[in-house]
Amino acid sequence: MIDYLIYLLTFVIGSIAGLLWSYKIHSEPYVIMGIDTKSLVVAVIGWILVLNAYFSWILLAIGFFLVGFVLCERPGYGRKETVIGIVVGGVIYLICHLILMV
Domains: count for the chain = 1
pLDDT, residue 32, reads: 67
Radius of gyration of the chain (CA): 14
**Percentages (nearest 5) of helix, strand, coil residues in the chain:** 75, 0, 25
- Can you give the pLDDT at residue 49? 93
Q: How confident is the model at residue 89 (pLDDT cuts 50, 70, 90)?
A: very high
Residue 80 sits in which domain range?
2-99
Return the closest-CA partner of residue 50 out of 14, 22, 80, 21: 14
Structure-derived torsion over alpha carbons of residues 70, 15, 57, 87, reported in degrees to the nearest 10: -30
Are 43 and 72 a contacting pair, CB within 8 Å? no
Query: What pLDDT, in 10s, does the model give residues 17-68?
Result: 998 998 888 777 767 678 888 889 999 999 999 998 888 889 999 999 999 9
- Greater confidence (55 vs 70) lies with 70
Tell me what pLDDT residue 92 has: 92
Instruction: Supply φ then ψ for residue 36, to 5 degrees.
Output: -80, 115
